[in-house]
Amino acid sequence: MSEASSTYDAVVVGSGPNGLSAAIRLAQEGLQVLVLEAKATPGGGTRTQELTEPVFLHDVCSAVHPTAAGSPFLSTLPLQQHGLEWVHPTYPFAHPLDDGDAAVAERSVEATAKSLGIDRSSYQQLFQQLSAHWTSLSSDVLGRLRIPKHPLITARFGFYGMFSADQLSTMKFSQAKTRALFAGCAAHSILPLEKAFSASFGLVLAASAHAVGWPFAKGGSASITKAMISYLESLGGTVECKQEVRTLKDIPSSRAVLFDLTPRQIARIASNKLPSGYKDKLQDYTYGPGVFKIDWALSEPVPWKNKACRKAGTLHLGGSFEEIASGEKAAWDGKHSETPYVLAAQPSVFDDGRAPEGKHTFWAYCHVPSGSTKDMTDIIEKQIERFAPGFRDTIISKHSMNTKAFEQYNPNYIGGDINGGAQFFKQLFGRPVMKWNPYKIPAEGLYICSSSTPPGGGVHGMCGLHAAETVLKNEFGKA
Ligand SMILES: Cc1cc2nc3c(=O)[nH]c(=O)nc-3n(C[C@H](O)[C@H](O)[C@H](O)COP(=O)(O)OP(=O)(O)OC[C@H]3O[C@@H](n4cnc5c(N)ncnc54)[C@H](O)[C@@H]3O)c2cc1C
């Protein structure tokens, strides 16, 4: 990868949102960038396919995009000019309960708090500031590890975020309904809700619902990929599909290589370039539980018992805080819950291009032990029926994926882990290896830009941005 013989300035391996973000940031500086993608289509976790029936467009992985819409990097890109449109549901998310009531997150903190009875002022006190200062907060929380640029709001977030979701919700909320609402957000972390820092995920996600909303990408998540590639190409970058990288020899010569991959693949591909201590750490990296997902084609919208749920983009199913916590702990402990926390989304209710007229798509998954092959279809459908009796009568057809299918679909989903590695405290900040600059691999010209680096999983492109900034500084002297 010597400078003189370089064909490209940089090659990115993998075209997920972080790979594309890294490529865009480098191309913005006028560098010649190539993205190599193993599969026939680009996008990694942001692809859309007719998984069930013709004309039913299903998001294979990500569907709900608070972190993309609120990303300090993606929000600076002209993606709207390249075809991306956000579709906002009436309510970002809702959490139905067994008595027919539901906790509903509205865009306004006040309106949400008002429906939470005696927790009204606690909710308002917790989320008013975090959402009002979202731009500052997200630039620190999703930014590089450094002294915060916005110490007041970040300290406030850090103080509450360091607790477990269990501790924080007990401290702040008196009602089971409010605790359940918070559990539904915190459980996106795929961590047991008793783990320190699990509250931080709940805080970021609930605050983002008020600050930026939880939108869908019109036409499906693939629209994010299309817009990013269109912008990248306008900057002179190129994406090549069906180019699986198995060894470093598969990569054209370039000054820098950025892997949008997880540690296990990097340890294999770059094996003979890595210092043994670093390679050992990559191999010791901890992956989290997996997911079992179902996509349905429906004859009509999901018949939620609670009417407000019909206006929410995302639904958190699982009842009380305690029930959700027990389901999440089970997946972490290698067990399958009979009543798991189910994350569901109904994009076609708000984006009518997702299904033939009058018909609908529905997306849901639950967390399962790493590597699980158990068919969770019946268990997930029972959880939906619990809050939407008659759901099964609306099913035209369905498509499911267990952890093995996910890993085959995208080699980054090791054991079905969708976050590029478990996100417990040490591995949240020190991923893939605890060092000052986690994006630099200790071998000439090699970098990592995937969600296996801070700030971790989700479609936000921030891992790609931070890796690209490191490349610009180290290889091209651009601070
Ligand atoms: C079921 C599911 C639901 C999700 N829901 C959401 C959601 O609603 N909102 C959200 O924000 N996030 C969600 N996520 C998470 C999100 O999709 C990921 O965090 C995100 O895609 C990570 O981006 P990335 O660029 O790091 O890697 P990826 O998106 O995983 O991209 C990596 C790319 O590298 C390619 N690749 C792998 N190996 C090679 C190789 N050897 N050579 C060349 N190419 C290779 C892969 O094919 C892939 O295209 C979900 C994920 C899943 C699976």
Q: What is the pLDDT of residues 201-257, one digit of tens each?
A: 999 999 999 999 999 999 999 999 999 999 999 999 999 999 999 999 999 999 999
> What pLDDT is stored for residue 328 in this prediction?
98
Best mutation site among 412, 417, 439 for ligand 1, i.e. most ligand atoms within 8 A of its Cβ?
Answer: 412
Residue nearest to atom 53 of ligand 1 (CA): 61
For residue 149, name the pLDDT band (cuts at 50, 70, 90).
Answer: confident
Residue nearest to atom 35 of ligand 1 (CA): 14
Kindly state the average pLDDT of the residues 377-386.
Answer: 98
pLDDT tens string 15-25: 999 999 999 99
Q: What stretches of 287-346 adopt beta strand conformation (E)? A: 290-298, 312-317, 342-345
Tell me if 228 CB under 6 Å of ligand 1: no
> What pLDDT is stored for residue 2 in this prediction?
41
For the chain, what is the mean pLDDT? 96
Tell me if 403 CB under 6 Å of ligand 1: no
Atom of ligand 1 nearest to the CA of 66: 11
Q: Of the ranges 76-85, 153-162, 439-448, which one carries the lowest mean pLDDT score?
A: 153-162
Contact in structure between 24 and 228 (CB atoms under 8 Å): yes
Distance (Å) from CA 48 to ligand 1 centroid: 12
> What pLDDT is stored for residue 6 in this prediction?
63
> What pLDDT is stored for residue 145 in this prediction?
79
Q: Which domains does the chain have, with CATH numbers?
A: 8-84+217-286+418-476 (3.50.50.60), 88-213+288-409 (3.90.660)
Q: Is residue 1 scored above 70 in pLDDT?
A: no
pLDDT tens string 405-437: 999 999 999 999 999 999 999 898 899 999 989
Q: What stretches of 299-384 adopt beta strand conformation (E)? A: 312-317, 342-345, 360-368
Q: What are the distances in angstroms from CA 375 to CA 66, 242, 370, 402?
A: 29, 30, 14, 7
Distance (Å) from CA 451 to ligand 1 centroid: 8
Residue nearest to atom 21 of ligand 1 (CA): 45
Distance (Å) from CA 46 to ligand 1 centroid: 7
Contact in structure between 389 and 305 (CB atoms under 8 Å): yes
